[in-house]
């Protein structure tokens, strides 16, 4: 700036039009890049999975039967149990995490004293920051031996419910244990979003409920929960999306199997898509990688839809 | 008593709540209070357990030797010539380089995308779609990001290409949405007065954005970026298939396999036990892989927590002063 003479600085526009235009173009390009990247993800996966459809079908079915030990020869037969396992584990994790997170969110927003609440928010964020591989390590080495007596008790006394049919596997590298770990992992996501929405409840509605003589819980039921309903639903969907795509914790804990089975306490029943990719990938040949990428594409589509619905719900609620 | 004011006689006693009804409501209130506090305690158990076991098991093998050697020349559970049992030097270097690569890709793109959304978009249909897709993108499973980078590099560099930069690309796919979201929030709270004052002085839009808006929002953007780094630095699954695993130190981001800390943790975990020769002395430890996994996990947790702390401190100390 100082190198310009005074008159030049006054007659020339500061900066210049070209820099302005370039900057605008770069900003637009980066915005559009998001669209391009998402399209590229879908296209590249589709391209790599293409041999499944157009390639030699005999070779395909041979690869798949190698993966499954001859149980299935068709891609949909292969991806079916995996999809079932993925949805089962994630849904269980969501069921476990849902009530606990709503509880924590209410505790932070309406029960805890102000100072404690801020500290607690940090603790919840801390839970979110721990890498999944550490949850896997902890789940595999600490939780698996520790939780067996509990599952054993469940199998013994609640075994008449089909999903808890015993005997409980020992070590319990089962769907139930994985669901507990995944629940811990998605807890912070659901909690922090629900907490934010609960804290926005109109103060007047809360006070009106209390003034009519409602107890604290009745106030929450009358004012807070109806207000936060859509936010909570969307938070749960996001948590579900995270659980669907979780790889390491499942890979390190679950003893895999390829069945449509609801026996939560028995090992080698189910496997998730993400963990299956990570497990099979190192030993897969070229066609095998194509099959795995095909399953990855299925996972991508499902998480995309779940996340999309979640965001649409939030959008409608805030609009 | 005036005749016109003769309403129906209301028996107010009918509405009086019975004592048992009041007690039941109070009981329910108490029960819910207990449940809610209980939910909180339940959530604390795994957090404390994770941190506690990682620290207790991690400190056993976490020493200078562990941090300054790689896994080259480590045989079974035997002690290496340096007096240790192998280490994570190569994993730390790999983590730093791959994360740096991801930063270089995603932070400029993320910030510019946020600039587009806040400064240029004017609530157009395109920006609406982009906002929605950024949200959706933040939910992409990490393994799908890995598959994407892997298939892209297989097309560009021939099948089976594995290098550190591929890992960076996979990570940046996960990092961009986080950076966009946090930068967008920060740009939005920059007061409009500042922009208008700048335009009134005849400053071009580009200069206003770079010199005024971005500068004001800088602390928030820095803190958001640090939190995004903390998120991707612990990613394992995409790096497993893009960056691979090697025992020796590889400093070249663009060729050869590269180990990162999370992948190291996983690899040691899946080794289960190390072999010792039948007549080995006491220095041969069969459980060394798990101990190495815990120690590396402790290093990883420390890195992530320190990054989180720095991010939050930056946000707090240098926060943009808006009009209350």
pTM of the model: 0.86
Q: How far apart are CA A37 and CA A130, in angstroms?
A: 27
Q: Calculate mean pLDDT across residues B154-169.
A: 84
pLDDT of residue A237: 85
| Whether A134 and B119 lie within 8 Å, measured CB to CB | no
Tens-place pLDDT, residues B281-317? 777 777 888 888 899 999 998 888 888 888 888 877 7
Q: What residues of B are in contact with residue A250 (Cβ under 8 Å)?
A: none
Q: What residues of A are in contact with residue B260 (Cβ under 8 Å)?
A: none
Q: How far apart are CA B35 and CA A99, in angstroms?
A: 10
* For residue B9, pLDDT beyond 60: yes
Interface test with B, best of A11, A31, A221, A277 (most B CBs within 10 A): A31
Distance from the first to the final alpha carbon of chain B: 59
Q: How far apart are CA A131 and CA B302, in angstroms?
A: 11
| Nearest chain A CA: its distance from B248 CA (Å) | 19
Q: Return the closest-CA partner of residue A278 out of A303, A300, A245, A239.
A: A245
A273-280 vs B142-157: helix axis angle to the nearest 10?
40
Residue B184 has phi, psi (to 5 degrees) of -60, -45
Calculate the CA A306 to chain-centre distance.
10
Task: Check if B134 contacts A (Cβ < 8 Å).
Answer: yes
| Whether A129 and B209 lie within 8 Å, measured CB to CB | no
Is residue B242 within 8 Å of A44, Cβ to Cβ?
Answer: no
Which of A111, A123, A245 is the closest to B33 by Cβ? A111
pLDDT of residue A94: 93
Task: Check if B33 contacts A (Cβ < 8 Å).
Answer: yes
Q: How far apart are CA A291 and CA A189, in angstroms?
A: 32
Q: Return the closest-CA partner of residue B229 out of B307, B112, B137.
A: B307
| Whether A215 and B139 lie within 8 Å, measured CB to CB | no
Residue A16 DSSP SS3: coil
pLDDT of residue B6: 67
| Nearest chain A CA: its distance from B141 CA (Å) | 4
Close Cβ partners of A82 (under 8 Å, ≥ 6 residues apart): A258, A271, A272, A273, A276, A295
CA-based torsion, A51, A52, A53, A57: positive or negative: positive
Per cent of chain B over pLDDT 70 is 96
Which of B108, B109, B236 is the closest to A133 by Cβ? B236
Interface test with B, best of A41, A276, A309, A310 (most B CBs within 10 A): A41
Confidence of residue A182 (pLDDT cuts 50, 70, 90): very high
* For residue A93, pLDDT beyond 90: yes
* For residue A8, pLDDT beyond 70: no
* For residue A133, pLDDT beyond 60: yes
Q: What residues of B are in contact with residue A127 (Cβ under 8 Å)?
A: 43, 46-47
Q: Return the closest-CA partner of residue A27 out of B11, B210, B304.
A: B210
Close Cβ partners of B45 (under 8 Å, ≥ 6 residues apart): none
Task: Check if B144 contacts A (Cβ < 8 Å).
Answer: yes
Is residue B268 within 8 Å of B259, Cβ to Cβ?
Answer: no
pLDDT of residue B39: 87
Tens-place pLDDT, residues B35-46? 988 888 888 888
**For chain A, which domains are there?**
79-318 (1.10.3720.10)
- The residue with tokens 């031996």 is A145
| Whether B135 and A217 lie within 8 Å, measured CB to CB | no
* For residue A315, pLDDT beyond 80: no
Q: Calculate mean pLDDT across residues A292-305.
A: 88
pLDDT of residue A319: 58
Q: What residues of B are in contact with residue A119 (Cβ under 8 Å)?
A: none
Beta-carbon contacts below 8 Å between A and B: 271
| Nearest chain A CA: its distance from B1 CA (Å) | 32
Confidence of residue B1 (pLDDT cuts 50, 70, 90): very low
From the CA atom positions of chain B, what is the Rg in Å?
29
ipTM: 0.84
Q: What residues of B are in contact with residue A147 (Cβ under 8 Å)?
A: none
Q: How far apart are CA B223 and CA B112, in angstroms?
A: 16
Task: Check if B290 contacts A (Cβ < 8 Å).
Answer: yes
Q: How far apart are CA A257 and CA A290, in angstroms?
A: 21
Q: Calculate mean pLDDT across residues A24-44.
A: 88
Which of A38, A191, A278 is the closest to B137 by Cβ? A38
């Amino acid at each position: 700036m100082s190198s310009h003479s005074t008159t030049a600085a006054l007659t020339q526009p500061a900066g210049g039009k070209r820099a302005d235009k370039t900057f605008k173009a770069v900003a637009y390009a980066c915005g559009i890049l998001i669209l391009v990247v998402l399209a590229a993800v879908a296209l590249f996966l589709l391209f790599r999975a293409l041999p499944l459809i157009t390639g030699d079908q005999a070779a395909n079915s041979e690869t798949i039967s190698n993966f499954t030990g001859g149980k299935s020869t068709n891609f949909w037969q292969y991806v079916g149990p995996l999809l079932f396992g993925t949805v089962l584990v994630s849904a269980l994790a969501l069921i476990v995490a849902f009530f606990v997170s709503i509880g924590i969110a209410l505790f932070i927003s309406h029960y805890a004293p102000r100072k404690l609440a801020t500290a607690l928010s940090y603790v919840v964020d801390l839970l979110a920051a721990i890498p999944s591989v550490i949850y896997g390590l902890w789940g595999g080495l600490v939780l698996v031996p520790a939780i067996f007596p509990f599952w054993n008790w469940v199998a013994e006394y609640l075994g008449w419910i089909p999903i808890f049919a015993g005997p409980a596997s020992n070590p319990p590298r089962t769907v139930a244990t994985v669901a507990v770990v995944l629940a811990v992992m998605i807890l912070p996501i659901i909690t922090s979003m629900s907490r934010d929405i609960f804290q926005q409840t109109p103060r007047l509605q809360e006070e009106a409920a209390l003034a009519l003589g409602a107890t604290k819980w009745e106030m929450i039921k009358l004012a807070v929960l109806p207000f936060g309903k859509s936010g909570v639903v969307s938070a749960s969907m996001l948590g579900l999306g995270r659980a669907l795509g979780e790889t390491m914790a499942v890979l390190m804990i679950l003893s895999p199997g390829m069945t449509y089975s609801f026996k939560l306490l028995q090992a080698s029943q189910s496997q998730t898509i993400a963990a299956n990719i990570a497990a099979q990938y190192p030993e897969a040949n070229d066609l095998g990688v194509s099959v795995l990428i095909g399953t990855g594409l299925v996972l991508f589509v499902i998480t995309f839809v779940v996340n999309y619905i979640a965001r649409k719900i939030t959008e409608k609620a805030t609009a | 008593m005036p005749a016109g004011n003769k309403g129906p006689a209301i028996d107010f006693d009918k509405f009086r709540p019975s004592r048992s009804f009041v007690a039941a409501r109070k009981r329910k209130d108490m029960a819910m209070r207990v449940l809610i506090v209980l939910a909180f305690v339940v959530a604390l158990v795994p957090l404390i357990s994770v941190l506690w076991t990682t620290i207790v098991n991690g400190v056993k093998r976490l020493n200078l030797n562990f941090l300054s050697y790689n896994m080259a020349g480590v045989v079974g559970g035997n002690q290496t010539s340096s007096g240790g049992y192998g280490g994570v030097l190569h994993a730390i270097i790999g983590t730093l380089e791959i994360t740096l690569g991801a930063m270089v890709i995603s932070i400029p793109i993320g910030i510019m995308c946020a600039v587009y959304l806040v400064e240029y978009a004017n609530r157009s249909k395109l920006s609406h779609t982009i906002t929605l897709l950024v949200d959706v993108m933040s939910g992409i499973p990490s393994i799908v990001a890995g598959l994407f980078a892997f298939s892209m590099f297989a097309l560009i560099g021939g099948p089976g290409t594995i290098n550190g930069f591929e890992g960076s690309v996979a990570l940046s796919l996960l990092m961009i949405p986080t950076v966009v979201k946090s930068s967008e929030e920060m740009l939005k709270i920059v007061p409009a007065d500042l922009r208008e004052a700048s335009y009134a002085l005849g400053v071009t839009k580009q200069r206003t954005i770079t010199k005024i808006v971005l500068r004001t929002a800088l602390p928030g953007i820095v803190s958001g970026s640090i939190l995004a780094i903390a998120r991707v630095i612990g990613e394992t699954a995409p790096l497993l298939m893009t960056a691979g695993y090697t025992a020796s130190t590889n400093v070249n981001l663009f060729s050869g396999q590269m180990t990162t800390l999370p992948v190291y943790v996983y690899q040691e975990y899946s080794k289960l036990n190390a072999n010792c020769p039948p007549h080995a002395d006491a220095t041969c430890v069969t459980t060394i892989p798990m101990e190495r996994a815990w120690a590396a996990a402790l290093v990883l947790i420390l890195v992530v927590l320190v990054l989180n702390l720095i991010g939050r401190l930056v946000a707090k100390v240098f926060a943009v002063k808006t009009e209350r």
